[in-house]
Amino acid sequence: MFPVARAALNLTARGIQHTAVRQAHRKYEPNFHDKYGNLVLLGGATAFTAVWGYVFTKAGIEWGLSPVGRITPKEWRE
């Protein structure tokens, strides 16, 4: 069993070496992230800011004020 496992590891290592050599000799081509990565990032940041800005302005939260004396229990409905 040991020689079989060693041969399998050798084939795996050889496959990784061949892949590395092939990729080293390839001409670099920009992928999707190279072409559009910054644009997608800016679009996501804009959408994030717009949505949370809308939520915060429509929520009616009074920032930085103490709730002491402002919170009163509501009447129970049966």
Q: Which helix (H) or strand (E) holds 34?
A: helix 32-58
Q: Count the alpha carbons within 13 Å of 50 in the hemisphere toward its beta carbon.
A: 6
Low-confidence ranges of the chain (pLDDT < 70): 1-2, 4-26, 61-67, 69-70
Give the pLDDT score at 75: 82
Whole-angstrom Cα distance, residue 50 to residue 45? 9
Whether pTM > 0.75 for this model: the answer is no
Residues in the chain: 78
Give the pLDDT score at 62: 66
CA 61, chain centre distance (Å): 29
